Amino acid sequence: MMNYAADDGPPAITIRGLRVARGAQTVLDDFDLDVRRGSLTGLLGPSGSGKSTLMRAIVGVQRTAGGTVEVLGRPAGDRELRDRVGYVTQAPSVYADLTARQNLRYYARVLGAPISDVDRAIEQVDLESHADHLVGRMSGGQRSRVSLATALLGEPEVLVLDEPTVGLDPVLRVQLWELFHRLAADGVTLLVSSHVMDEAERCERLVLLRDGALLADDTLPALLARTGAADAEGAFLELIEKADSEVSS
Ligand SMILES: Nc1ncnc2c1ncn2[C@@H]1O[C@H](COP(=O)(O)OP(=O)(O)OP(=O)(O)O)[C@@H](O)[C@H]1O
């Protein structure tokens, strides 16, 4: 299933035999994945399929029950990765009673990032006109862009973004995907989760999850060729049907 090419150098993220239980439920079981350095990988799957859990394991905030997760050659969550890995959760993790700029200055100090990163990050997420507005008075989409900007401070090598485009209008979504592509072209490794299948078409590689299992890990053209589907959504449905028929036969 893995399509990691031997000449790409060591992967940015290597997962082997990962097992995660949440409550009484096994969310990920014997899960393997490699994510190539400098790639833009889309993590797709129905609600509850384990996308956020996998991302939490990659950034080292998820208790695991087995297996290994390595990021940039270090165990996930290692101190040394603190300013090399950026993570944006679904819930914006910024202070409502500070402005966007004040939030970013605060996070820059915590991370030890240069203060000049603040203006760069504001510009990257297209928030110049709202930089001095209180986050508590911003729209959901503006707040999530402030959150995303915090992850861009310090120029991390790996970005793990949990549904960063939720609540954004189509123009902003396109702009953010352009930003993700630029970052990947500069060598940043991005893992971006999404519910939205048309966003899949913007990723260089797609990881499809279902019930905590890896349904596919491939490029969109390869998935379309394999399934005969016209788009990512059709390919995903085809793969689900195939997996179901294999289980029932
Ligand atoms: N705090 C928790 N305690 C117990 N179970 C949890 C917890 N958080 C998530 N789960 C369970 O783990 C499974 C995977 O959830 P996860 O959030 O990883 O899915 P997801 O694919 O990211 O979903 P969504 O797209 O809706 O965010 C789900 O069945 C969910 O009910």
Helix (H, G, I), strand (E, B) or coil at 7: helix
The domain segmentation of the chain, as residue ranges, is 95-155
For residue 127, what are the CA distances in angstroms to 26, 57, 189, 195? 40, 30, 23, 24
Query: What length is written for the chain?
Result: 249
Residue 56: CB within 6 Å of ligand 1? no
> Which residue's alpha carbon is nearest to atom 7 within ligand 1?
22
Of 18, 20, 53, the residue with max ligand 1 atoms within 8 A of its CB, to mutate for a pocket test, comes to 53
* Arithmetic mean of pLDDT over the chain: 90
Q: Which residues contact 206 (CB under 8 A, 6 or more apart)?
A: 41, 42, 44, 200, 216, 217, 218, 219, 220, 223, 232
Say if the ipTM goes beyond 0.85.
yes
Q: What is the pLDDT of residue 169?
A: 84
Q: Residue 50 C-alpha to ligand 1 middle, in angstroms?
A: 6
Of 26, 43, 49, 210, the residue with max ligand 1 atoms within 8 A of its CB, to mutate for a pocket test, comes to 49
Identify the residue with better confidence: 59 or 237. 59
Q: Residue 217 C-alpha to ligand 1 middle, in angstroms?
A: 21
Mean pLDDT of 182-198: 89
Q: Model pTM?
A: 0.90
Q: Phi and psi of 160, rounded to 5°? A: -115, 110
With contact defined as beta carbons under 8 Å apart, do 220 and 201 qualify?
yes
Mean pLDDT of 190-195: 91
